[in-house]
Amino acid sequence: MERLLLLKVLLTGASGILGRCTFSGLIEAGLSVCGTDIRPMDDPPGRFVVAELLDRQAVEPLVSGCDAVVHLGNHSRFRGDLPPAKTYLENVTMNTHVFQAAEDAAVGCVVFASSIQVISGDRLAHDPDKPSCLSYLPLDSQSPPCPGNTYALSKLAAEEALRYQAFLHPDRSYTALRYPWLIGRHADGPVQRRGPITPGRDSHADEAFAYLTLPDAADLVLAVLTHRLPGYHQYMPFAGNILGLTPAEMVKRYYPDVPLRPADKALDTLADTSLIQQELGWSPRERDLFGPDQA
């Protein structure tokens, strides 16, 4: 890490899968962290407050006095019990409350957990003949948006809100992380997953079946907080594909009509993470979990 971390950080969504891992990682790095979530947390590693992000008045005192806000607290794509409009409206409301409170408190760094679904459309794994919405391969941090559901649309709206905040305050740091499918490990080593490793009918084909481990996802947050680059930035981390196929096999099966960039070179990965490496010095540590396609 290039800069000494003397930060007071608010972490939303601290009781979630990524939130718990990030909470511990930031505490271990020496940061002063206040975690918050609507759900209580057993044995939090630092200060923890139960709060409802839909309540603006509950958010403002949590943000006050913070140097950075790491905002992970949204409804996720895995909550099928919520109507699509409710998912969008409540995510946008939560994001608006957190971002506006950060602006009002002159917070210098905001990190937001976006999603690869911002670019992945609605083409599912069981429908490979449907045209891809991808503009090119390999995917990268600047891949154009193509949201295919209201969850993804809410993430895109948040990215644009952060871009606007950076326009207003170019000296502050605003970062959106377009996370893919996040997986972790049990204490004894086996892979822990949010769902079956074989893509089901609802898997989004245009996510490139990408994955990232939870520790690597938490380390990326720490890298953003360490560097605190001014302006707006967005990154799409990638450690490989869960199918264990080579890029050539993936293109033949799922992306035969997607342009390759550059067209005169063989595709050696489905996602280019070089921008993250160049700007943050970050690269995934766990890349060999499922197969040969590595970033």
User: Domain residues for 240?
Assistant: 8-280
Q: Is 183 inside any structural domain?
A: yes
Does some domain include residue 272?
Answer: yes
Report whether pLDDT(190) > 60: no
To the nearest whole percent, how much of the chain has pLDDT over 70? 88
pLDDT score for 238: 95
Asked, for residue 170, whether it belongs to a domain, the answer is yes
**CATH number of the structural domain spanning residue 79:** 3.40.50.720
Closest of 208, 14, 27 to residue 116, by C-alpha: 208
Question: What is the pTM (predicted TM-score) of this model?
Answer: 0.92
CA gap 161, 164 in Å, rounded: 5
| Residue 174 belongs to a domain | yes
Question: Is 120 a member of any domain?
Answer: yes
- Which has the closest alpha carbon to 210: 261, 147, 254? 254
Residue 260 CB-density burial (10 A; 0-12 exposed, 13-18 middle, 19+ buried): middle
Per-residue exposure over 71-92, b if at least 16 CB sit within 10 Å of its own CB, e if not: bbbbbbbeeeeeeeeebbebbb
The per-residue pLDDT for 178 is 98
Region 26-55 average pLDDT: 96
Does a structural domain hold residue 47? yes
Give the three-state DSSP class for 9. Answer: strand
Percent of the chain surpassing pLDDT 90:
77
Identify whether the C-beta of residue 110 lies closer than 8 Å to the C-beta of residue 52: no
32-36: long-range contacts (C-beta < 8 A, 24 or more apart)? 32/7, 32/8, 33/8, 33/9, 34/8, 34/9, 34/10, 34/62, 34/66, 35/11, 36/10, 36/11, 36/12, 36/62, 36/73
Does the residue 291 lie in any domain? Answer: no
Is 289 domain-assigned?
A: no
- Number of structural domains in the chain: 1
